[in-house]
Every structure is written in C-alpha cells, then in structure tokens.
Structure 1
Amino acid sequence: MAASRPRRRPVVALYERIADAVHDGTYPPGSTLPSEPRLAAELGVSRPALREALLLLQEDGLVTVRRGVGRTVSPSPPRRGYERLRPLEELLAGGGTVAVRALLRAVEEPTDFTTQHLHAPAGAELAFWESVLTAQGAAAVLSQEWAAPAEVLRAAHPAFAEALGSPGAGAGSMLAVLAGTAREVDLTAHSQVSATLLGRRRGRQLDRAPDTPAVLVTQVVRAGGTPVLAAKHMLPTGAPALPVLQSG
C-alpha cells in the first residue's frame, strides 16, 4: 500500500492559502489586507493561527506592515515556492559577485550523516559535491552536499535526478540545481546551526587557520516529504553574513 503524504501543520497550510491568494490576485500586490478579525473570519481560522501565518509571510517578504495602514501585500512578492529556500549563491550575492569552485564531484557510499538524513541504505550510491563559495574576494563557505539515491530521486523528483546528470550541472551548488527544477514541486527545508572550529582540512580548503571559529549549518531538503538533499555548510569567522531561515 502506498504511503500517505504527511499532513501539513495548520499554520503552514494557512500560510500557503494566503500566499496562493496573493499570487492568484485575490490580494494583489500593493493592496491592503483585511483587518485581522475580518481576515480570520473570511478564512475560518483562529486569530492566533492567522497571526503566526502573517508573521511568516512578513518574514518571507510577501507582506509588509505600514504604521497607520496595516498589513499590505508587497509590490513585488517573491516567486511562489522560493520563500523559504534559496541557494547559497543567491544568499551571498548581496555582497557582490559569488563564485562557486568545485573541489569534488563524485559518487559516495552512505555515511552516518547521509544514513540519518537521507535514509540511505547500505550499499547505496549518492552523488556528493564539495565546493568553496567565494564572495567579496575571499573564501566564504565550504559546502558539502549529498543527493538521495537515484531511485529515490526518480520517484520523488525526477526532474532533479535528470538535472544532476546533465552537462555543466556541477558548475554551481547542488541546491541551485534543485531549486532550478522545483517550480512545480513542493519543497521544504530544515536547517540547524552550531558553532565549531574549522580544523586542519577545512582550514586548508578555506585558507584559514585550523583554530578559526566557524558556524556549521546542516540542511535537509524534502520534496513532497521525501528527503532528496542533505548538506553541511561551513562559514568561517569574517565571512559575509548569511541569512538562514528555518522551516519546520
């Protein structure tokens, strides 16, 4: 029997209802949303749930708050499906040109990390990309990305599976390839942030001392509830600021 699709949290579903209404013209760009009590009544939801969804919409740039006016739809709302997931190249681009230098493009067997986050069985073959992203003339991020086994990708996101094997795909990050094929696919992501030191190997790759403090961002991306990409992004002290959005 086919597995049922995971149910969405009510606030996430409400977020998407309002986002859909923005993109289909029910609440056009630049318009003012109904008052909170009226909007809650129109949508048939509680005001606390609505308030949380509106805060998420505001964080993602679909809604702005103007004193004396209320909540308005942004003049240029972000494209649907990209509100909470963007490649590192785009996140770092605010500081200027970003270059992706491929260190390794290979196929690996599962590790403890990929077994945990991609549910990869023993003996599976996973595409592995290691890259250094350079911004403002300096190495800013060491990125390690793994894709789920090919058979999983073909079932959950065939366009991503095909794009990974296309010529020139490895010129950017794996997440950029995924985002470029995800216009009709439900993608969600979750990130965890921790503090660490670079260590000797990563220090050499980023041209920094081994004892340089760094931030480690662990990211898992799902397509329709199936994990399709897992990544570790190492950001040393002094790297350009990287905004991180977490989604449950």
Structure 2
Amino acid sequence: MVKKRLSFSVRDELAARIASGRVAPGAKLPSEPELADELGVSRPTLREALRSLEEDGFVTRTRGAGTYATRRPRLRNNLDVNFGVTEAIRAAGMRPGTMQIAVHTEAASAQVSLDLDLVLGDPVVILERVRTADGRPVVFSRDIVSTSRVSASEVARMPVDGSLYDVLEHLGYAVANGVVTIEPSLTDRALARLLKGKVGVPVLFLRQVDFDLNGDPVLLSEEHHLAEAFEFTVVRRGPGRRAP
C-alpha cells in the first residue's frame, strides 16, 4: 500500500512539472536511474508512476529511446457519465476557459425539431462556445434548447463557463440522461478558424440529446472535439453468464 501511494505522489509531481512547462513539450526526461535518485524512490516505484503518466497521455515511452513529455496531455472523458467539457478539463489538471461566446435565436430545422420534439420552425436558443484547456482551443460546442423552456436572455445571463444543465435544473428541467452519437470528421475552414488550427485536422463530432426526468428531450448539444486532445472511454456490460 505504501509503495502504491508513493508512486501516485511521484506521478503527480512529474505531471505538475509537465503541465507547468518546467519540463518542455517534447523534452526527454532523465534516465530512470537518474530520475529515481532525484526523487528519492526505487526504480519499480518510478516505473509505476511513469506507466500511469503514459496512460494519461503526459509522456511517451520508447524502448531504447527513453521517456519524452508529450505536446499535450489528452483529456479523458468517460461517456458512461454525463458531464461537460469543463469537468473533463479540470479532471485532467488543466485550466478550463471560454474564448468566444455567442447567443442567438433561430427557427428549428427539421432535424432539431425531430430531436427536441418540436414543430418545424419553432424558435430555439443556440449557445455557441469555443472551450479551452490551459488557453488552447479544444472544443467548439453548440447547445440548442427550445425558447419554451429557456429564453435567450436567461442563456445570455449565464456565466461565461456556466452550464446549461444548471439553468435547466433551476427552471425545473433537471437532466436525467442523454443519448450521444460519435462520428469522426475533419476541420473545415470555419472550424479550423475557431479552433485556431489547420484545415483537415481530425475531430470527433458528438451529437447528444438530453432528457429530463419525465423522458422529454430538453437539450441538443453538438460538439467538435480535437481528436488529438481527447480520449473517450465506454464501459461495455455483459453478456454475463449464458445458459448452457
């Protein structure tokens, strides 16, 4: 137990060095004997810490070449749990932020009407944001909700990094669950400009419909996640014991 706790402490120390820039992106870490001696731990303890850092995307390890700090640690997001981009960024030990924000109202398209159980052309509020991790743009999101549930002024009064889940819950539409689809895509010119990157960069497009406690659809979210910045996990259950 002591060894395991110590490896966690070593892991946190090295992660902090990388996240703060004390170890530059792409820099090679000292050899295992040197690093173990510097940190005052055994090599098995250090290896356990390095293995955890590699799993979390802070370092890459190549046999015979050594251990290198990555350009950016990947943000892990467990799709079994319905939480937002801000929480995923904080969980990775980085600072969440918002670069751009826009709120406007438009008529619901055929697809939006179908997803939110509206009449074609019903007014909806759209909240568009570019989300950042340590100042780097990593997600462009569009949240769409019917004006019959939330007004444009209520959305506009939200804190910059606020959650529509909180607004919906305050108004009596607490989200119980959501259904998400994920598709691979590439940045076009508009998306590349928003994420301050190049055209043709891989992204993961998430489209999610959230339902309240009554099973009614209350929120549609469309998010473009930089593929290099995120890692998504899903717990697959079953099939369990089968009859002979």
- Give the TM-score range, shorter chain: 0.5 to 0.7
Distance of 2:201 and 2:109 partners within structure 1? 26
Quickly say closer, same or farther: Cα 1:91–1:184, change in 2 above 3 A.
Answer: same
Map 1:121-140 → 2, pairs under 5 A = 121-140=119-138
1:209 maps to what in 2? 198
Question: With structure 2 as the length reference, what TM-score do the two structures score?
Answer: 0.55
Quickly say closer, same or farther: Cα 1:92–1:215, change in 2 above 3 A.
Answer: same
2:111 maps to what in 1? 113
Aligned length: 155
Which sections of structure 1, spanning at least 5 residues, go unmatched? Answer: 1-82, 154-160
Distance of 1:241 and 1:87 partners within structure 2? 14
Question: In the TM superposition, what whole-angstrom CA distance separates every residue of 1:91-142 from its partner, at most 9, and x where no partner exists?
Answer: 2212211012343101111123312211221231101000000003310100
Question: With structure 1 as the length reference, what TM-score do the two structures score?
Answer: 0.54
Of residues 180, 185, 189, the one that matches 1:196 is 185
Higher strand share: 2
Map 1:66-215 → 2, pairs under 5 A = 84-95=81-92, 96-150=94-148, 153=149, 161=150, 165=154, 168-169=157-158, 171-172=160-161, 174-178=163-167, 181=170, 185=174, 187-215=176-204
Distance of 1:148 and 1:182 partners within structure 2? 13
The alpha carbon displacement at 1:192 in A equals 0.8
Question: In the TM superposition, what whole-angstrom CA distance separates every residue of 1:17-74 from its partner, at most 9, and x where no partner exists?
Answer: xxxxxxxxxxxxxxxxxxxxxxxxxxxxxxxxxxxxxxxxxxxxxxxxxxxxxxxxxx
Preserved CA contact (<8 Å) 1:102 1:129: no
Higher gyration radius (CA): 2
Preserved CA contact (<8 Å) 1:117 1:227: yes
Which sections of structure 2, spanning at least 5 residues, go unmatched? Answer: 1-79, 237-244
- The CA RMSD measured in Å over matched residues stands at 3.0
Q: State the percentage of identical aligned residues.
A: 17
Detail structure 1 runs of 4+ shifted over 4 Å in the superposition. Answer: 242-246
For residue 157 of structure 2, what is the amino acid of its counterpart?
G
Distance of 1:167 and 1:111 partners within structure 2? 22
